[in-house]
Structures are given as structure tokens and as C-alpha cells.
Structure 1
């Protein structure tokens, strides 16, 4: 670790020294790493440091090594920096995120020191879920969306999610599904022209949720693709990340009923002055549209992906038929 980054970490955490406990993960395509640091005589026992360093040689695991792809990633780290500096403070315990102690950029590197969610009690990571886990994540999303309803995403992505159409021209160009390819702009426009918009997390997969071992609550991480949008983008993407197609279909009504119940409660707590029934009607209609939007991305990015299934194909056909 550069001495400069070490010094700002010590100062921000009021520690006398630090040491690396473990590397949690490498960042996508070799853009850096996330490490857990132990602190001596500090305000916390440990923190998590995210160190972004742009690679000299682009090395995307699926072969997407274009300048366009590189610039998208660069912007994503700028967005995450802006998120923590300008917007994160609005999140409360109902949409828990790690507290940011410090963010610093120097010589093309980004260094951020974040609360260690393991130490804060969110120490479980899951690769499969039961219904109570789904509820916890949907409640987090509902509170997050309520918090940022009708806000302007200044400093963030104008349109959130990492699969947004304008940021994925290469994947669109090579799609074999020409019907969906042709419909993609209309799907995108439908989502972007919602009357009710909020901030979406933009990468709300199961792997980005940290579960509490003592209560049915979660915290979320990774805000590189946060930006404006319809909340159904996060909900559809989350459900697709943790359920197989049979359960996606079987539980669809239950999922949406729970999410909108939590969203209504969260909006009431935030004293947001809007017509909730109108919002719910609009967003329910957007659920299959949001699902189709991500399905479009997958069919260009990784045509053999396990998430490409009969449920998604049925959703897409229904949406395209309505749009045409």
C-alpha cells in the first residue's frame, strides 16, 4: 500500500498502525482489489479498503476488452466516489450501507476506506436463499427506492444499471435474437419514460447483499452503477440472480406484493408526497419490461448464460408484443 493511502487510513480511523488481514476479492477485469485491514488502537477493529488501479493491459474475463468497456468502468468508479461523497448519507438502517471513512484519488488510483460490515454484524454471505432472505433484500430495495424517489441523480449515472442500453452497443450489435435486438430501443425508452423515477442500485445481485446473523436484515455494497431509473430494474435483476425460472414464475405475485407493501410503508415514513397507487400501477407494468431489458443484455453478452430461460423468453415475447 502506498504510504499516502496508509496515512489517510490511519488518520480517518484514528489508528496507530494497520495490517492486511485478507484480500476479499479482485475487482472485475483486474482493476484493483478489495482488502480487509486490521487496525491498531483505532475507532474500529477493522475496515475494508477498495483500491482501484487501472490496468495497463485490459483483461476482461469474457473478452470484452474495448475502449468503450474500459471507459465505462472508469466512469463507474467516478460514480461510486460521487455516491459516497454526495448521496450515501441519506441511507438509514432500513437500507444499510457501509459508512465511508475516506475517499481519495491520486495518479489514476482510487482508494476508499469503508466500514467492515462483518464487524458491524452483517457477516453472512449467501449463494442460495429462502423466503425470509428474499424479504430482507426486497425490504432493503424498497427503502432505498423510497429514499431517492424523484431525486435527480447528479454525479451518478443518468440512467443506472450496468447493462443500460446506451453503455452496451457492442453486446447489442452481436445479438442473434433479431426480434429482441430490434425491440431493445423501445424497451429502453419505456423504462426511461416512467413518470415515477428513483435511484437504482444498478447491480443488486445476491452477492452484493450482506446478511445479519442476528436479525432478518441486510446491508448492500458496490455502488458503481447507481443512477436514475425505475425501481423494477433492481427488483427484477435481484430475483433473477437468486431464483431459478420455476420459482421466478411461481413466486412472482408474492414477490411484487411484498415489495410494494414495503415500498408504501417506506414512502410514508419518508413523508414523500405522491400518488402511491399510481406509482404501483406504473411500476407493476414495468416489471416484465425491466426483466426483458436485462434479458436483452444477457443474450448479447453471454448467450449461453444460465439465466436465459423459458420464463425470460416468455416475458420478452409478451413485452415485445405489447410494444408493437
Structure 2
């Protein structure tokens, strides 16, 4: 049985939102447009704590949903918690889903959206009280994968795009007057810390074990037919380089070549969607490469426990399952961003 990303069925079967206690007052800037694609206008929500202490550290948040369902609203409660209790400016991103553009969005385009979102945040977050020199990134499940791509592929940028070799990414948003190559040379996608929540790190293996087949329920939940992640004619068997190029597991640099930022990776002990062993495989490869990473397993927790609301199918409720982990995230970001 392949590991489909049984991420928040909450999007369709959620119970009432569980409220978190309020701490610092915040201002929420909703639906800020940051890029236009053929498929949709990409937006983000920015949560700004009310502070008299100058610019605040920034956390970019990337939602999950198997790259096929959900939008950034699934992370509303987590974003609000980090802003209220951690005193961070939080930028909660939207990106294209595989089913967008008449089911023609490719995985590299999704990666390019997240790269573009991080670049937009760095260029504009000062307007929202954030410090562009102190930026962390976090994401869960599919968002954990995309956050890990920022770490491991943030210098693999190319104006020629993904279809040419070597496979590079052209961010959906680029600072005015700069090429993808210039951004890469400046290490423009560098972040100062990362938290990867039950992330998917090996899409090459997932594709070989059924992700692209109708057995993956998320194609149905997304309202589209199953297909290849890169469109017709590209398969994991015939084109493994495509799939490895979007799989962080294969992109980890040796520390002598590129030191990645301090990273926390975690997973619930009861997670059957992204089992602890799958996350530990990534952690072990990071450690073998000399990269700084902390690993934690939360006893009794299932997949997608940072989602807003309550999910009876996974047995999660934000108010019960998320706060202690979010407090750990706050402590980690405090240590490395302030």
C-alpha cells in the first residue's frame, strides 16, 4: 500500500474551529495578491503582531493537502497561534494545486510558486512589520515537502525553467530587474531556520507506488483525473531525474558545499500517511551530510494535527493536539531567528 498523502479530509469534513487563547493582539491582512498565473491569482494572508519593538522575525507558512486540495485557510489557526503566542509576522501562502489550469499544473510549477512566495515576502514584508533578514519557513505534509525544497533546491534556479537539463526552477515571482540566476548567485532564497511538519520528502518513490494512480483518493477529492506529476509522456520509470529533482531526499548537499539552516523535523507516532520511518530517512540523510537537524516524534499524534478545526477521521483537534507542538516551534524559531 503506497503512502498517499491522506492530509486533511478536514477540508470537506471538518467540525467547528477550536479556539486558541489570545495573547498578543494581531492584525490580519487577508488575500494579498503576490503573483498572477494562467491558472489563478496567488495570494497570501499576513498576520502581524501589534508591537512597538521594531521589526519582527518572519515565518513563511506553506499548507498541505497532497498538492491537490486545501488552501492556506487550513493553516489559519496555526498561523494565528504563531503570531499571537510567538510574536512572529506570519505569511501564510497559497500556491497552485495539481488540478489547477484544467489539471495541467506540474509539480515543478508548484515548487516555483513557493520559491516565488518566499522571494515576495523577503521583498515586501517590511511593509507589514517583518524583518526580511530573519526569515524562517514551515510547512506540513505537502507543505513540509515544499518547505524542504526551499532548503535543498533554493540555488537550483534557471531562467530556462525545468524542462531543460540540468533541471532548474524559475520562481513564479522574481524581484524587479533580477534573473533567476542572479537570485541564485545571491542566495536569495536562503532562510535562517526551518520547521518541517510530517513532510513528504521522496516523490520519486511515491510516484512508483501509486501516487499518480486513481487509487490515490486525493485526485478524486481534488475533482480531477489521476495523471503524471509532469504531464503526459513523463514517468518515474522513464524519467527518474524529473522526480528526483522535486524530491528533497535526493537534493541534500554536503555541509562542505552548502550549509543549510537549523532545521526541526517532526511527525506523530501514529501517522500512517507519512510514517515516522519516512521522516527519519530524511533526517538520517541530513545528518550524514553534516546538516543541522533536530528530530522529534510526538506520541499518540496522527497526520495533519496542525490543521485548523477538528478532524474525526484522523482523530485530531487543533485545540487538543496542536498547541504543545506549536510551542516547540516557537521555541525553535526563537532560538534561531532572534
TM-score by length of 1: 0.28
**Structure (1 or 2) with the greater helix fraction:** 1
Rg comparison, structure with higher value: 1
User: Does 1 or 2 have the higher relative contact order (CA < 8 Å, sep 6+)?
Assistant: 2
